[in-house]
Amino acid sequence: MSPLHDALADYLQIRRALGYKLERAGKLLPQYLDYLDARGEQLVTIENALAWATLPAGDTNWWAFRMSVVRGFAAYLHAFDPAHEVPPKDLLPRQARRMTPYLYSEQEIQALMAAASSLSSPLRQATYRTLIGLLSVTGMRVGEAIRLDDRDVDLRHGVLTVRETKFGKNRELPLHRSTVDALRAYRRLRDRHQPTRVSDAVLISPAGTRLLYCNVSHTFVQLVERAGLQPRSARCRPTLHGMRHSFAVRTLLDWYRADVEVQPRLPLLSTYLGHVHPKDTYWYLTAAPELLELAAGRLERSQGNQR
């Protein structure tokens, strides 16, 4: 193993100890080092980093991501040996291309849950009804819902614990009584169909195993079609992650309509959603025209009172 490979192992270990998962970096950086080995190079340079990052044809944002992965490792190496060059941040910058969130109405969520009745087995039908309902009322990430174990759902106290989230933290979500009742009903049906458990997962497949993200995504596309939902534009399509957007926007709308102070409550919503940076929650303020209208109306009233 080359010195660079040894340095990479140390780099990944240190960053992961700080809470970074680095799943993609853990796959891409060994590929970069193999590329350097094939060229007979033992130093990170701007030239070879750029050549490697732009090897796949097509998406410039993917090039930018590959470059950012090298940049972090290069900065680590440079601290020990200045001969390693750190690619500048303005080299292959990422271009913001955030999709317009598809905000689901209550009727559309009900239509998706009803479409689950067309799936192949009673357990599969119940699993997807429960998954869609849970995403819509908690704003959880899909991966967080899939990772839920029975120990994470306290039906007695109506609390759900989300463990090992996107940023390695745990959080607790209070549940409405109707959600508790729905989860209890699902558990009864699940345990009746799978009396011998092969997984601790809350949501399971007909085989009793934990759901896979790729299978959930594929099934959701089928449910969207059967529910008759259509894209609102080329950049606004029904997605699983849209459930999370919809929850956040719906919460903000409820606060505005109740005429409560929204700004002081945003950190609460940020914590509930598992955001690390408040700016990720503030983004929702611009996600829906109705939100902008309510915010503008409140600002106008506030300025009128100051005159």
Give the C-alpha separation, 113 to 130, whole Å. Answer: 8
Q: Are 134 and 145 in contact (CB under 8 A)?
A: yes
Give the C-alpha separation, 12 to 77, whole Å. Answer: 12
Helices (H), the chain: 3-17, 23-39, 46-53, 60-80, 106-115, 122-138, 142-147, 177-193, 213-227, 242-257, 266-273, 278-282, 289-306
The three-class DSSP label of residue 149 is strand
Residue numbers annotated as active site: 141, 166, 241, 244, 275, 284
Q: Which two tokens stand for residue 35?
A: 């590329």
Q: Which two tokens stand for residue 158?
A: 């109506």
* Neighbour tally for 41: CB within 10 Å: 14
Q: Are 240 and 217 in contact (CB under 8 A)?
A: yes
